[in-house]
Structure 1
Amino acid sequence: MGRSRRTIPEELLLLALDPATGTTAQPQSLDLGLAGAQLVELALAGRIAPDGDRIAVVMPRPTGDPTLDSALELLRRRGSPVRAVHWIGGPRLGLRQIYLAHLERCGMVHAVAGQMCGVLPTTRYQATDTAISREIRARLDSAIRTGVPPDPRTAALAALAHAVGLGKHLYPGNEGRSSRSRLRDLIRHDPMGGLVAHAVMDVQNGVAAQPRRERAAAAPASAPAPAARATAASGLPLQPRRGAPMARAGAAH
């Protein structure tokens, strides 16, 4: 995969980078979003394909991008299709930091060392070419403003931006409410982007990884009524209580 085109993980991270502070918005959920963005990029490269809510490797040949190829190799080692929510919710050892270092090596950002409270070392990241970030943002703005279905890359980027909570960073306040709503609606324009975006949100919401119908099948049967429990325990039918039932029967005659 050549470097003439930025990958979706790279663009998602550049979108999240705050030029004023040099930090990334939504750092916790961003790791999940980057894992999902890798899946979309690998799908666009023809290396993986969705199989229901699972991801299957269809071509294990490396892409030439080290970060993507690492993910592809891990998927290949699974041996069978893996659920997107399992993959995205799995352990991620600093995927955001890995991509920040990757962007620095590619010359898209540069690190700025500093200190917090004059003691703790910190690292901020500044885009080396703000025109790149503006171009990415302009694509999202155009899709939101015009309502024209975007290309698959832009649709997937919009879906992931919404899933990780970047909407309030990109379109803040009450004036950005309609734009945030339209950003969410762009999910439907790319099936793979929608699949991973929903998986990202499911992980954040703590949704059980087991499919709903499997959870229903595995749920214990409802407890039997007290009478049924007593019948089952004794093996004999329950006898009517003395008194009231018999009196009612006599009154009927």
Structure 2
Amino acid sequence: MGRSRRTIPEELLLLALDPTTGTTAQPQSLDLGLAGAQLVELALAGRIAPDGDRIAVVMPRPTGDPTLDSALELLRRRGSPVRAVHWIGGPRLGLRQIYLAHLERCGMVHAVAGQMCGVLPTTRYQATDTAISREIRARLDSAIRTGVPPDPRTAALAALAHAVGLGKHLYPGNEGRSSRSRLRDLIRHDPMGGLVAHAVMDVQNGVAAQPRRDRAPATASATASASASAAPTARAAAVPMQPRRTGAMARVPAH
């Protein structure tokens, strides 16, 4: 993969970077979003594909991007499709610092050393070319305000920005409420972006270890309903069998 195009993880991080403070918004959820952004970028490169709520490697050939290829290799080693929510919630936090260092090497940001409370060393990051951040933001603004379906990359970026909570950072206050709502709605324009965005939100809501939340309650409800409706049927079917005295009992199908 050439360097003529910025990756979605890079763009998500640049969106989150505050030009005034040099810090990133939503740092805790941003790592999750970056893991999801890697999946979207690998899907756009034809290396992985969604399989239900799972991710399958369809082409293990490296992309040429070391950070993405590291993720691709980890997925390949799994040997079978992995649930997106398990991948994003896995023990690979620290992506924010990895990508900040990556952006610094690429010359997109520069590190500024400082201290917190005059004692603790800190590092802040300033964009070296604010035009890049403005261009990324302009794509989101255009998709929000025009209502024209965005390209897959912009749709996925919007979905991830919403998932990690950047809406209030990008469109603050009451005046930004409608823009935040439209940002959320853009999630439907890219299936892969929507899948990983929902997985990011599921991890934040603590449901990574559970089956998909839109299925579990329905399954339980269906099972209870089926059991309740099966009982009268079983009793009715058992009545004519009593005179046979064969010792067999009427069987109720398991649900």
Taking structure 1 as the reference length, what is the TM-score of the superposition? 0.85
- CA distance in 1 between partners of 2:185 and 2:232 (Å): 51
Distance 1:219 1:35, change over 3 A: farther
Deviation at 1:211, TM superposition (A): 1.9
Q: 1:210 to 1:129 in 2, by over 3 A?
A: same
Tell me the equivalent position of 1:76.
76
User: SS at the partner of 1:244?
Assistant: coil
In the alignment, is the contact (CA less than 8 A) between 2:32 and 2:93 conserved in 1?
A: no
Per mean C-alpha deviation after superposition, the further-off stretch among 158-167 and 215-224 is 215-224
**2-structure distance, mates of 1:243, 1:108:** 83
Q: 1:118 to 1:227 in 2, by over 3 A?
A: same
Q: Give yes or no for contact 1:108–1:127 (8 Å, CA) kept in 2.
A: yes
Contact 1:50–1:56 (8 Å) recurs in 2: yes
- For 1:245, what is the secondary structure of its paired residue? coil
Shift in Å, 1:52 = 0.3
Instruction: Specify whether residues 123 and 223 from structure 1 end up closer, same or farther in structure 2 by C-alpha distance, changes over 3 A only.
Output: same
Task: From the superposition, tell whether residues 219 and 79 of structure 1 become closer, same or farther in structure 2 (CA, over 3 Å).
Answer: farther
Is the CA contact 2:9–2:38 (under 8 Å) kept in the aligned structure 1? yes
Summarize the Cα distance change of 1:202–1:128 in structure 2 as closer, same or farther, 3 Å threshold.
Answer: same
CA distance in 2, matches of 1:181, 1:144: 9
- Deviation track 1:194-220 (CA, whole Å, cap 9, x = no partner) reads 000000000001124332599857999
Give ranges in structure 1 of 5+ residues lacking alignment. Answer: none
CA distance in 1, matches of 2:41, 2:180: 24
SS in structure 1 of the partner of residue 39 of structure 2: helix
Relative distance call for 1:238 and 1:184 in structure 2 (3 A) is: same
Partners in 2 of 1:44 and 1:180 — Cα distance?
Answer: 25
**C-alpha separation between the residues in 1 aligned to 2:21 and 2:121?**
15
Q: 1:218 aligns with which of 218, 221, 224?
A: 221
Moved more, 215-224 or 38-47: 215-224
1:139-158 correspondence runs (5 A) = 139-158=139-158
Alpha-carbon separation, structure 2, partners of 1:171 and 1:31: 21
Distance apart, 1:168 and its partner CA: 0.1
Partners of 1:40 and 1:192 within 8 A in 2 = yes
Helix, strand or coil for the counterpart of 1:252? coil
Q: Deviations along 1:51-79, whole A, 9 cap, x unmatched?
A: 00000000000000000000000000000
Deviations 1:118-158 (A, max 9, x none): 11100000000000000000000000000000000000000
TM-score of the superposition, structure 2-length normalised? Answer: 0.84
Runs of 4+ with deviation above 6 angstroms: 217-248
Partner Cα separation in structure 2 for residue 200 and residue 140 of structure 1: 20
CA contact (8 A) 1:160 1:193 kept: yes
Residue pair 2:234, 2:250 contacting (<8 A) in 1 also: no
Inter-partner Cα distance in structure 1 for 2:176 and 2:254? 74
Q: Quick one: distance in 1 between partners of 2:104 and 2:68?
A: 16
Q: Given that residues 231 and 237 in structure 1 are in contact (C-alpha distance below 8 angstroms), is that contact kept between their aligned partners in structure 2?
A: no
The structure-2 alpha-carbon separation of the partners of 1:242 and 1:133, relative to structure 1 and needing over 3 Å to count, comes to same
Percent identical among aligned pairs is 92
Instruction: Using the TM superposition, give the Cα deviation of residue 105 of structure 1 relative to its aligned residue in structure 2, in angstroms.
Output: 0.5
1:56 aligns with 2:59: no
- Give the SS at the match of 1:60: coil
In 1, the alpha carbon distance for the partners of 2:36 and 2:80 equals 18
Deviation at 1:93, TM superposition (A): 3.5
For the residues of structure 2 that align with 1:194 and 1:217, how far apart are their CA atoms?
A: 25
Say if 2:60 and 2:72, in contact at 8 Å, map to a contact too.
yes
Please provide the CA RMSD for this pair: 7.5
**Kept after mapping to 2: 8 A contact 1:51/1:81:** yes
Asked if the contact 2:85–2:208 (Cα under 8 Å) also holds between the matched residues in 1, the reply is no
Task: Tell which structure's C-alpha radius of gyration is larger.
Answer: 1
Kept in 2: contact 1:85–1:199 (CA 8 A): yes
Change (3 A) 1:245 1:221: closer
CA offset at residue 87 of structure 1?
0.2
